[in-house]
């Protein structure tokens, strides 16, 4: 009797389990993994090889400042920026370059640009166009922010990109208006053109300011 009872119990258990298995609702399929973010277009990456010892890479934003990005590309490919100094560099604010005269009064032979004010905030590493007190006067000069200054800059200057690599070389730019020994852009290039960085000698770390963190 005991054996039959156990057999019956096992049979009932198996049958119940089978019923439970059949009755269980189908599980939802696992969601597909999110696609990997697209790699930045090398046509929209600006490299600045600085005399401070290395390469600065800026992701340009033609989606919000197409005319300004096109101007930067055109001048870069003309080698306009090669050898130009940072003529106005304010501690805790920004480093400005792009004037072949080195005074802040010069520019390229191309016409001034119509402003493309946009939603890119002026944070640490933001690259933005310099101008006079008139909005549509940006030409070739630009600056890179050391620290955020959104209240004073947003909506008043055309931001066109942001540093994503090499900000430590921006931090080393010699300060001054103008600097006594100005730092310079040794070579500017567009990533799509595959220009190798020049051999640069890094300045003594002891003579440089500490990098500012976000």
Neighbours of 58 (CB within 10 A): 26
What is the CATH topology of the domain spanning 42-193? Cyclophilin (2.40.100)
> What is the residue extent of each domain of the chain?
42-193
- Return the minimum-mean-pLDDT range out of 16-20, 140-144, 154-158: 16-20
Say if residue 133 is exposed, middle or buried (CB neighbours under 10 Å; 0-12, 13-18, 19+): exposed
Scan for tokens 């300011």, then name that residue.
209
First to last CA, the chain: 80
Distance (Å) of CA 17 to CA 4, 6, 23, 28, 200: 20, 16, 10, 21, 73
How far is residue 201's CA from residue 169's CA, in Å, rounded to a whole number? Answer: 12
Provide the β-strand partners of residue 5.
none
Residue spans of beta strands (DSSP E) within 22-177: 45-50, 55-60, 86-90, 94-97, 126-129, 142-145, 159-165
- pLDDT score recorded for residue 157: 98
Average pLDDT, the chain: 85
How far is residue 212's CA from residue 214's CA, in Å, rounded to a whole number? Answer: 7
- pLDDT score recorded for residue 5: 38
- List, for residues 8-47, the tens digit of each pLDDT value: 433 443 444 443 444 445 556 666 665 656 778 999 999 9
Structure pTM?
Answer: 0.78
Residue spans of beta strands (DSSP E) within the chain: 45-50, 55-60, 86-90, 94-97, 126-129, 142-145, 159-165, 185-190
Scan for tokens 């055309």, then name that residue.
158
């Amino acid at each position: 009797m005991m054996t039959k009872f156990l057999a019956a119990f096992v049979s009932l258990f198996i049958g119940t389990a089978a019923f439970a298995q059949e009755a269980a609702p189908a599980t939802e399929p696992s969601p597909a993994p999110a696609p990997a973010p697209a790699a930045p277009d090398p046509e929209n990456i600006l490299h600045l090889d600085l005399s401070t010892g290395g390469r600065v890479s800026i992701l340009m934003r033609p989606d919000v400042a197409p005319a300004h990005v096109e101007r930067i590309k055109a001048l870069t490919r003309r080698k306009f920026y090669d050898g130009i100094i940072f003529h106005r560099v304010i501690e805790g604010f920004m480093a400005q370059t792009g004037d072949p005269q080195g005074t802040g009064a010069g520019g390229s032979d191309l016409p001034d640009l119509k402003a493309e004010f946009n939603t890119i905030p002026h944070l640490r590493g933001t690259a933005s166009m310099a101008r006079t007190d008139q909005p549509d006067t940006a030409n070739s000069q630009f600056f890179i922010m050391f620290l955020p200054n959104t209240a004073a800059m947003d909506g008043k200057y055309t931001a066109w990109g942001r540093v994503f690599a090499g900000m430590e070389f921006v931090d080393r730019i010699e300060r001054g208006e103008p600097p006594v020994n100005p730092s310079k852009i040794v070579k500017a290039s567009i990533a799509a053109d595959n220009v190798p960085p020049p051999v640069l000698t890094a300045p003594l770390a002891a003579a440089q300011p500490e990098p500012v963190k976000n």
